[in-house]
Amino acid sequence: MADGISVIAIDGPVAAGKTVVGRELAQSLGFASLDTGVMYRAVTWLALHDGISLEDETSLGELARDNPVSLEGDTGGRVSVAGHSLGTELRESPVEGNVSLVSKVSTVRKELVKQQRKLAAKGKIVMIGRDIGTVVLPDADLKIYLTASPENRAQRRWQEMLKRGQTVELSTVLSETLARDKIDSSRDDSPLRPANDAWQINTDCLSIEQVVQKIIARATGN
């Protein structure tokens, strides 16, 4: 399957379906998957835990360099960093509210991009993020850019939050989603945008399975 395709990049804004599509696509193809957002979340968690100022770019870069993030297995999104095993903490408000700020910092991006390229070097991987097709893996065999309307994305995030037991208004999630989009796409270093050679898929009216099948068809030429 997927003759000649070994490295797949999936980018797009928050809650466009990247992670679940990426994970299912990887499973279907027998590839590994890496959600790079959890790496930025893990560094954010560690900076808050260690009391590092989020304005201290030098210390944040050193923190990312000295504490590589490792994934605990292929699924579930748990990671280890500096001896801490992290899961749900990565989705809670301290990290949620600060990760966009940490991911703007070039010293942090430089270190994490290095780690991401190393992880992709073995091939057979679906890598998910914001800058994978543009910066991390510009030579990826297939680049996908998933989009969906802000309303649909906010609705999806809201439902995930309710499932996790978080109580929050849908309107709050919508304004946070718009704010996150703005920070991610207007930052100087590696802003969120589709690569010129990315295939854009709007997921508003598609199920996860339909999106995965579309990508497999493209990857396999069927």
Residues that bind ligand DC (CB under 6 A): 14, 36-37, 40-41, 99-100, 103, 129-131, 180, 184
The single-letter code of the amino acid at 74 is D
Give the DSSP letter string of 177-215: HHHHHHHHHH-SSS-S---TTPEEEE-TT--HHHHHHHH
- The residue among 160 and 204 lying less far from ligand DC, judged by its C-beta, is 160
Alpha helices (H) in the chain, listed in sequence order? 18-29, 37-49, 57-66, 93-102, 106-120, 150-163, 170-186, 208-220
Q: Residue 165: is it exposed, middle or buried by C-beta count within 10 angstroms (0-12/13-18/19+)?
A: exposed
How many CB atoms neighbour CB 218 within 10 A? 16
The tokens for 27 are 């499973």
**Residue 220 C-beta: closest distance to ligand DC, Å:** 26
- The residue among 186 and 220 lying less far from ligand DC, judged by its C-beta, is 186
Instruction: Identify the residue whose tokens are 């070097």.
Output: 121
- The residue among 172 and 220 lying less far from ligand DC, judged by its C-beta, is 172
* 8, β-bridge pairs: 126, 142
**Residue 30 C-beta: closest distance to ligand DC, Å:** 23
- The residue among 130 and 156 lying less far from ligand DC, judged by its C-beta, is 130
**Residue 37 C-beta: closest distance to ligand DC, Å:** 2
- The residue among 31 and 40 lying less far from ligand DC, judged by its C-beta, is 40
∠ CA 184-188-190, rounded to 5°? 65
**Residue 99 C-beta: closest distance to ligand DC, Å:** 4
**Residue 66 C-beta: closest distance to ligand DC, Å:** 20
**Residue 83 C-beta: closest distance to ligand DC, Å:** 22
- The residue among 133 and 221 lying less far from ligand DC, judged by its C-beta, is 133
